[in-house]
Structure 1
Amino acid sequence: MATGSSGRTSSATRPGGAGRAAGPGGGISTFKGQERALRAGRIGTPGLLLSVLAASAPLMVVAGVMVTTYQVMGIVGQPLLFVILGIVMALFSVGYAEMSRHVHNAGAFYAYIARGLGGTVGAGASFVALAAYSALQVGIYGIFGFEVASLLDRHLSLHLAWWVPALLGVLLTGALGALKIDLNAKVLGVLLVIEVALIVVFDIAFAAAPGPQGLSLHAFDPATLGGAGLGTALCFAVAAFVGFEQAPVYAEETSRPQTVVARVMFLAVGFVAVFFALSSWLIGVATGPGKVVAAAGDAGPGLIFALTDPRLGTTFTDILHLFFVTGIFASMLSFHNVVARYAFAMGREGLLPAALGRTAKSSGAPALGSLLQTVISLLVVVGFTLGDTGPAGDPTTPVLKLFTWGGNVGALGVIALMATASVAVIAFFVRRGAARAQAGRLIASGLAALALLVVLGYAVTDFDVLVAAEKGSALSWLLPALIGLAAVIGLVHGRVLRATRPAVHARIGLGNEAFQLEKAARASGADGTPAPGAADPSSQPARKEG
């Protein structure tokens, strides 16, 4: 399968550097061998779309994020926020999707940033991505464990501490994460379709039986966005979009990455913006726009269930509770897959131990990356369990700490990565001399970067509100500092690699393309002169440091 330096199998490098060649029987062949490549052709447009939308956890957003935004921020115009942010995310996707046509790498964010702003900045971004998505994924175990324990207590009178189902969830997610991505996509797809169907049912019920103000469009009035909670509400709404940007992570595993990835991103952004705007509007319709803030304050996260029970009956509400939990699980699995692929890409390029850059022979999945995230998850859940001194059924540790802290730290990191990636897109095409040809996309990326930096500023200054901490609490700077620390570690690591291992530093962001450069180097003579017929590494475009 691997050709070594014999040259018997020619290497066909795709645009942007996929660096793969067809092996015997159409299999994948790379210079370093099949274990260094994610298995191609595993996932198409439907599977990829379902995988990234599962990370958005629609039911968790509708029943949790939306209700919390109404309750805590008092912003009646939440539906309008989703429309505005949908435009921002579409602007971001214009340049990001174009970048995906040129760079196919499981490192996605950091690979794009490295190709635009240099290997050192890319190294910093890689550690931020790993920390951010790990925080998002591990945080979800808190609410998963709490909700499963609550369901078992309510329906089976089985009393379990939250950490028991949380740890079982860690193990099950880890097992699925090591399997084939197409199998994962099927699991995520089934859960997502049921979840969305349930939301559509109660959305229709809310529209058919509205509150005292009828089908009012008051929530789309710009005047409803006034208030001190606007900045924080923006952060909550951005967190609801997190997931669509994961599509490029699977580029190496799609059959046609040049078209599939971009298509999925635009479909996901459009779906999330429209679906969440309608759902948040219909929540207000069901209570009445003038009463939605008070209703959310009274019922808290149970508002959706309180609204569906009189309209659709107890049985439907119980089913909704069940699939609320399965939706949370789907989100956990989706984020787990992303973290595993980031670890794989970083291991393959020398940013993490090389062992992480290998895939399982049976599934083609990044099994060691999956195992690493499983171990991290176990350690974090156990750590929060040991620190939990509350009574049974108390949501403080699993929900208000583990879930809330992890979710907001992760969202902060993703917003920072999106803003940086938008700048990197501009730099990438300018350096390639394509600024005029890509002018429209570069303008869109610039506007997205500005908008995302505004949201990032709100997120940092209002972080105490996001994590429900007291004003002046150390949490308001300690938790965001985790993302800053990850960035510093990555940047220092990148600088060290540049000084001590320049060849490794030069590979950052190149993915499989780097294998072809190494093949050319090994085919060179001892004095550094390329052997006859060997490609000259010096002919590759030099990458300037940003």
Structure 2
Amino acid sequence: MLPVKSGPDLVAGALAADRLGAPSVVYFVLSAAAPLTVVAGVVTTAYAVTGITGLPIAFLVVGVVLAVFAVGYVAMARHMANAGAFYTYISRGLGRPAGIAAAWVALIAYNALQVGLYGAFGTAATPLLERWLGLTPPWWLVALVAWALVAVLGLMRVDVNGRLLAVLLTAEVAVILLFDFADLAHPAASGFSMETLSPGGLFAPGVGALLVIATLGFVGFESSVVFSEESREPRRTVPLATYSAVAIIAAVYALSSWAMTVATGPANIVAVANRDQADTIFKLAGAHLGDAVVDIARVLFVTSLFAAMISFHNTTARYFFALGRERVLPAVFGRTRARSGAPKAGSIAQSVFGLAVILVYAALGLDPLVQLFFYGGSFGGFGVLLLIFVTSVAVIVFFVREPGGETLARRVIAPVPAALALAVMVWLAVTNFAALLNVPESDPLTWILPGVYGVAAVIGVIWAFILRTGQPAVYSLVGMGAKAATAQDGI
């Protein structure tokens, strides 16, 4: 294979370094988590689907598990700064075939999460346009506008994206906290209750689905490592951003889900969530704060979706880049724009896929909210949960072979219980997949969607063996990041 030549605006093998500080990485992570989207949609869905009121304590429990997982996760980040994250860690811990299988799963999961947001954006923005302009465009036309903006931003400097996310996320979290305090200041007739914060709320039939839904609310926290190559002082920035993100997400979600039950009364939250669905928080706020504040919040709900699109687009593009740089994908994916340092081919590929999905859903008349956003989010979130679990095992195996000066707590004491807890979460996700999608147990989607990841993993392993046989030099550098790009210049 000939070395990749740099064109006038392309540089192979390197992302722009020293662009992001810890706050910027936190903004990317929290934007992927989409706090207002989760509070408005995921929280109410959890109450409605499971009928269990222990969601606030579930968020805290899941936050603790993920914080413990993060101990080994960020310890591994100190040994390898690589935009491939899960792919890299699993390659280095469990072997190259497992790593390439994980890469295929990651690309599918993050693409599903990103494009699924277009369905929610089009659905949420259309009523606002109708109210303000008297126009009722189809959801897909609104989604295409968002798609074009994300496509352009994906090719710009990563710190420009970070500054935009900072503005959007700050406003988003501010309105969530305002709503929460209004709910707490106006308890239901049954009185101020902390019942839903009791650990006893987790001991109920169907709690598996509740824990899985709570786990999906955290999806995005793991992306801090994806930006390690572009971070200033990554050994400090990545751990700080990861722990901060997990703590903020757990606190905000637990507070918001609890505040709702205070405003409605714990005994009424399930009925209210079934009746009002994603409108629950807005109707509660309207009663306490007035219509003007609610209108602002609805706009921020739309910008929350937009911010999540930007974050997942950047994450997905960097996975393409990491695989292209190591020639696991065609070398064109391992190139960046000289002017911005953005992964050009990966960003364009993600945009092309998003455009295709929007057009197909529009042509077939499929439901953008349920069949694109809800199914896409659940499917993508499940894939990320699988990757987190496998990575937790990879961390343990890696540090058994290469302690690297890390403490016993970082190598064993934290990673082992985290892996066990995550194994339980994966099992709960598989056995409660019908509840996760809110479909009957007999629905084919309950086995088709999880099966996609199994097929992708098998294809990834087969591709790894093909590389090992046909391109051993490429295979030997899987998981090596920038070192692979340097070594392959002569291949």
| Mapped partners of 2:115, 2:486: distance in 1 | 36
| Mapped partners of 2:226, 2:407: distance in 1 | 26
**Shift of residue 224 of structure 1?**
2.1
1:241 partner SS: coil
1:233 paired residue number: 210
| Mapped partners of 1:330, 1:293: distance in 2 | 29
Runs of 4+ in 1 over 6 A off after TM superposition: none
The aligned amino acid for 1:479 is: L
1:527 paired residue number: none
1:486 paired residue number: 456
**Shift of residue 468 of structure 1?**
2.3
8 Å CA contact 2:116–2:374 kept in 1: the answer is yes
**Shift of residue 282 of structure 1?**
0.5
Match of 2:229 among 245, 252, 258: 252
**Shift of residue 34 of structure 1?**
4.2
1:359 partner SS: strand
Match of 1:381 among 358, 374, 383: 358
The aligned amino acid for 1:372 is: A
**Shift of residue 125 of structure 1?**
0.7
The aligned amino acid for 1:112 is: Y
**Shift of residue 483 of structure 1?**
1.5
8 Å CA contact 1:429–1:435 kept in 2: the answer is no
* Structure 2 gap ranges (5+): none
2:127 paired residue number: 150
**Shift of residue 156 of structure 1?**
2.6
8 Å CA contact 1:42–1:254 kept in 2: the answer is yes
Match of 2:38 among 61, 69, 80: 61
Q: Structure 2 vs 1, CA of residues 176 and 516 (structure 1 numbering), >3 Å: closer, same or farther? A: closer
**Shift of residue 369 of structure 1?**
0.6
**Shift of residue 368 of structure 1?**
1.2
1:366 paired residue number: 343
8 Å CA contact 2:313–2:350 kept in 1: the answer is yes
2:383 paired residue number: 413
8 Å CA contact 1:93–1:266 kept in 2: the answer is yes
1:212 paired residue number: 189
8 Å CA contact 1:425–1:442 kept in 2: the answer is no
Q: Structure 2 vs 1, CA of residues 442 and 435 (structure 1 numbering), >3 Å: closer, same or farther? A: farther
1:74 paired residue number: 51
1:255 partner SS: coil
Alignment of 1:316-327 (within 5 A): 316-327=293-304
8 Å CA contact 2:400–2:411 kept in 1: the answer is no
8 Å CA contact 2:42–2:217 kept in 1: the answer is yes
**Shift of residue 435 of structure 1?**
9.1
Q: Structure 2 vs 1, CA of residues 93 and 298 (structure 1 numbering), >3 Å: closer, same or farther? A: same
| Mapped partners of 2:243, 2:201: distance in 1 | 28
| Mapped partners of 1:42, 1:435: distance in 2 | 28
Q: Structure 2 vs 1, CA of residues 438 and 226 (structure 1 numbering), >3 Å: closer, same or farther? A: closer
* Structure 1 gap ranges (5+): 5-28, 390-396, 523-546
The aligned amino acid for 1:471 is: E
Q: Deviations over 1:234-292 (max 9, x none)?
A: 11111111111000100110121111001100111111111111111101111111111
Q: Does 1:268 align with 2:238?
A: no
Alignment of 1:401-480 (within 5 A): 401-433=371-403, 437-480=407-450
1:496 paired residue number: 466
2:310 paired residue number: 333
1:174 paired residue number: 151
Q: Structure 2 vs 1, CA of residues 440 and 509 (structure 1 numbering), >3 Å: closer, same or farther? A: closer
| Mapped partners of 1:250, 1:259: distance in 2 | 13
| Mapped partners of 2:110, 2:192: distance in 1 | 38
Q: Deviations over 1:58-100 (max 9, x none)?
A: 1001111001111111111110001110110011100001001
Alignment of 1:32-181 (within 5 A): 34-181=11-158
**Shift of residue 155 of structure 1?**
3.3
**Shift of residue 448 of structure 1?**
1.3
| Mapped partners of 2:124, 2:371: distance in 1 | 15
**Shift of residue 433 of structure 1?**
4.6
Bigger RCO (CA 8 Å, 6+ sep): 2
8 Å CA contact 1:39–1:364 kept in 2: the answer is yes
| Mapped partners of 2:407, 2:311: distance in 1 | 36
The aligned amino acid for 1:167 is: L
2:251 partner SS: helix
1:532 paired residue number: none
8 Å CA contact 2:72–2:410 kept in 1: the answer is no
**Shift of residue 405 of structure 1?**
1.3
| Mapped partners of 2:313, 2:86: distance in 1 | 16
Q: Does 1:400 align with 2:370?
A: yes
2:475 paired residue number: 505
**Shift of residue 384 of structure 1?**
1.4
| Mapped partners of 1:514, 1:143: distance in 2 | 39
**Shift of residue 157 of structure 1?**
2.2
The aligned amino acid for 2:87 is: Y
Match of 2:327 among 350, 364, 367: 350
TM-score by length of 2: 0.95
1:9 paired residue number: none
| Mapped partners of 1:280, 1:509: distance in 2 | 40
Q: How many residues align?
A: 484
8 Å CA contact 2:13–2:334 kept in 1: the answer is yes
**Shift of residue 147 of structure 1?**
0.7
TM-score by length of 1: 0.86
More helix by share: 2
The aligned amino acid for 2:325 is: R
Match of 1:293 among 258, 261, 270: 270
| Mapped partners of 1:223, 1:185: distance in 2 | 40
Q: Does 1:189 align with 2:166?
A: yes
Over the aligned positions, Cα root-mean-square deviation in angstroms equals: 1.7
8 Å CA contact 2:48–2:273 kept in 1: the answer is yes
The aligned amino acid for 2:157 is: K
Give identity over the alignment, percent.
45
**Shift of residue 434 of structure 1?**
5.3
| Mapped partners of 1:43, 1:436: distance in 2 | 26
